[in-house]
Every structure is written in C-alpha cells, then in structure tokens.
Amino acid sequence: MNTMTNIQTITAKLLINGQFVESTTSEWQDIINPATQEVVGRVPMATPDEVEAAINAAQDAFKSWRLTPIQARMRIMLKLQDLIRDNMKEIAHVLTTEQGKTLADAEGDIQRGLEVVEHACSIGTLQMGEYAEGVARGVDTYTLQQPLGVCAGITPFNFPAMIPLWMFPMAIVCGNTFVLKPSEQDPLSTMMLVELAVQAGIPAGILNVVHGGKDVVDRLCTHQYIKAVSFVGSTAVGTHVYNLAGQHGKRVQSMMGAKNHVAVMPDANKEQTLNALVGAAFGAAGQRCMALSVAVMVGESKNWIHDLVEKAKMLSVNAGHEPNTDIGPVISKRAKARVVELINSGVEEGAELLLDGRDVEVKGYENGNFVGATIFNHVSTDMRIYKEEIFGPVLSIICVDTLEEAIELINANPFGNGVGLFTQSGATARTFQNMIDIGQVGINIPIPVPVPFFSFTGSRGSKLGDLGPYGKQAVQFYTQTKTITSRWFEDTQEAGEVNTTISLR
C-alpha cells in the first residue's frame, strides 16, 4: 500500500491477468481534488486491445477458477476483509482527496462495502442448492448454483469504495471472474481496494480492471465472453447499459436514479426526526442515490419547518479532510453548476427558498465545488427541483394534511429507491409500509439501506433488472441454477417395460 501514499504522483493502472500495468493509450483524464481543483492523479481511457486483453484473461482464468473449492474462495474473502480493515484510514484519506466527502463519510463508504465482503465469507451456505429425495419411485432431484463465467461491473463516482465491494467480491466468491470499470472521476481509492484483493490471494485473471468512458462501457456490454453486467449510476447511463447489454444476451442489474421522500407525522419524536432529516438530506453533499430529496410534512408537523432550517444553518461546509466538516464539495465544477442551475429553477418556478447554499464561501478553499445546505418550501410536483434528481444538498418540502395524501403523492413519483416515515404510531407505520409502492422503506430511519444479509431492493424507475446487488439476490444474480434429476438401478435389476409417457413413476 505504500505506493498509494503520495497521491500527487498517482497514475491509475490497469489490472490485467494479475499485473498492474500502465495503459498505452494517448487519452488521459485528470483526477481533480474537488475542494481545491488540484490535479491529484490521472486515469487512462483504456484502448480496445487492453479491454480485450482483460476480458480474455478473465475468460481463460474462469476455466480453473470455477473448479476451485468453495472454501478456498471463502478464505480469500476472509483475508480481504482483514486487509480492508487494517488499511481503512489510508483508503479513506485518498477517497476524501479525490471525491470530496468528509473523512467520517469516507470511512462509512468503506465500512458499508466491507460488510458485503464479510457476508461473502458465508458463501459456503449462501451457495447451497436444494435436494428432494424420492420425487418419484427411486428418483431424486437436486439443484446446483453454478457460476456464470466472466462478469463485469461499472461503478459510479459517489461511492468509489462501497459499490465496487458490492460487486466483485460476491461475483468472485461465487466462482466467476470479473472485469471492473471504476468511475474515471475518482478511481484511486477503488484501485487501493483492488491491490488489497490481489494481496489477499485472488489469482491472476480472476479480477481485472480497465478504465475509460462510454467506449469501454459499451464493449463490456457487448463482448461475447461477458455473461452478466452490474451497474450503479445515473438513470440515463443505466438505461443505456441495461438495454445494450440485454440486447446482447447479458444478465443485467442496473441501479439508477432516485427521488427519495420522507413523510413526517405530527406524533413523531421531533428532535430525532429533525436530526435525521438534516443528516439524510445534506450528508455526503447530497450525492447519494439514497439521499433524502423531499420532506412531506403531514398536518401539524409543518410547524417544525423553521426548526429544520435552523438546524441546517449550523452545518459546517468545508474540505472533507478538515475537522468538524458536515458538507464537503460536490464532485466537479460541472456538478456544482448543475446543482446551482436547478436551485435557480426552483426560485424561478415559485418555490420559497428558505435556505440558500449557492454562494457559500470556504476560507482557504475558494476554488472548491461547494454548495451549502439549501431548503425549499411550497414545492409542487411539476417543478424541476421535484421531478429531477439534483444530486446535491437540496431539500424540497411539501405540506399535506393526511397520511393518505402523503402516500398518494409519494406513489405517484416515478422513482422507487427508498422512502421513510417518522411516527410513534405502530398502526400508522403498518398502514404506510403496506400501502407505499417503494422498494426500500424506513420506519424512523431516513436512509433505509439494508444490511448485506438482505438485498438492496430499489424498485420502479430506480432499478432495471429483477435482482439487486449483495445479499441472497446477488448470489442468484451471479449463479446459474442447474437442476439434476437422477435414478440409479441395481446391477441385478431386470429391465422394465418401455414407458412412453412423461411420468417418472
């Protein structure tokens, strides 16, 4: 890991057949510290030959890896989780520098990915098949969960540790090989995790890494050796990946955009609720697919809006590595310009701007991509700030009179990643969780991302494909079910009569 300490000099390498190599491409992109605009590294746009070499290496390695005992694969994951834990602070430092989030949030990014690696250590039971004896006279049926082959993962900028760790550990521990394409905006922390995976004992060719943009993505979606593609990112790119890979016969899971709501009931614990809303809306500078975008204040809870704004005013905006920072910069100048443009649109369309984060200044980091906490009231569902995913620290407030109105409003939104309800009534919570049409529901929890024993279950416009990342669904995604029906005869048994029916009896 010492090679990663001075990130000023880093060139992101490719990993092909067990070797970290520098790309021969002529096309490179700078990796920018979003708090300072300082160039901290560069990333190559891999050549077609390099992408081909990575996929071919994975294809060749699969022939032996699929036969590797399950315990051997599991032991690599046990070693990997130890290495990640030992190097967490160093990875978090690099992640903060290239991505912008606070050090605490960077460690959380790594920790949530580490939990999936820990769950992968249970593959001995997760990948078990089923067995039924005597389905007919002398006939048994059983299933095997067998690996698919070469799988690919395309990851976003906002979680450069967690999302790669959602993908390649589960794919590899199931017996597949993997080609990973990290975000070109912040690949350095991802590559640190990849280095640790190699140190943990993943053999040559099992895990490969290529960098690049659309050309590389498209090649992964269309190559004949790729059997499955996992994607997390924007709706536009996710739809493209799902359609292109699906048209070429790939199994695809595509986790995309969101517009997450929280309904606040008047009987909720006020202090805990307001703290949760502020953290969920403005943490990670709003750059989470599970960030809170819309607070639906039900009945008298609208009287809490002033207190909500006052709490948000107290958040500290600063570079991610500075102490006591609550909101770091967004990823790029382009991202900041889009967030500001959407805030402007909210003002122009008539929403009431209660807290304005457009002109925040951070001493010593005047060139940073900073947007402060921003809150709108009197937002309507036809406004751009409601319809579009802002991916910045912007919260819209809509007031309604009843729980039924809140449910109807939330269900009418096309996205379905996550939703929360704050209440102290069990009956209200039960009604809400039964009637709401969103894949992940939090009761007094604003960001309801499940632990890895379960599966990430975003739905509707937030997800394409029927299986989500990590958990039991990931094992289903990365394996093919083979059903075997068998009958054995005694050597002394005489031949029976010919049976021309489909019966096994």
How is residue 196 written in tokens? Answer: 């640790």
Looking at residue 326, its pLDDT comes to: 97
Looking at residue 502, its pLDDT comes to: 60
C-beta separation of 265 from 298 below 8 A? yes
Please identify which residue in the block is written with the tokens 């580490």.
114
- Distance, in Å, from the CA atom of 231 to the CA atom of 256, rounded to the nearest integer, reads 8
| DSSP at 34 | T
354: Cα separation from own chain's centroid: 31
**Amino acid of residue 204:** A
C-beta separation of 175 from 73 below 8 A? yes
Looking at residue 496, its pLDDT comes to: 64
Looking at residue 493, its pLDDT comes to: 63
How is residue 356 written in tokens? Answer: 């304005």
Q: To 10 degrees, what angle do helices 103-120 and 70-86 make?
A: 160
| pLDDT tens digit sequence for 288-311 | 999 999 999 999 999 999 999 999
3-state helix vs strand vs coil in the chain, percent to 5: 40, 20, 40
How is residue 26 written in tokens? Answer: 């002529």
Is 289 an annotated catalytic residue?
Answer: yes
What residues contact residue 187 under an 8 Å CB cut-off, 6+ apart?
12, 31, 43, 98, 160, 211
Looking at residue 495, its pLDDT comes to: 62
Query: Among candidates 184, 179, 209, which has minimal Cα distance to 195?
Result: 209
Query: Among candidates 458, 462, 448, 456, which has minimal Cα distance to 415?
Result: 462
- Distance, in Å, from the CA atom of 498 to the CA atom of 109, rounded to the nearest integer, reads 63
Looking at residue 5, its pLDDT comes to: 42
- For 303, other C-beta atoms within 10 Å of its C-beta total 11
Beta bridge partners of 398: 296
- For 7, other C-beta atoms within 10 Å of its C-beta total 17
Q: Name the active-site residue from 151, 174, 221, 289.
A: 289
Q: Which residues of the chain, if any, have pLDDT below 50? A: 1-7
Looking at residue 68, its pLDDT comes to: 97
Q: What is the Rg, in whole angstroms, of the alpha carbon atoms belonging to the chain?
A: 25
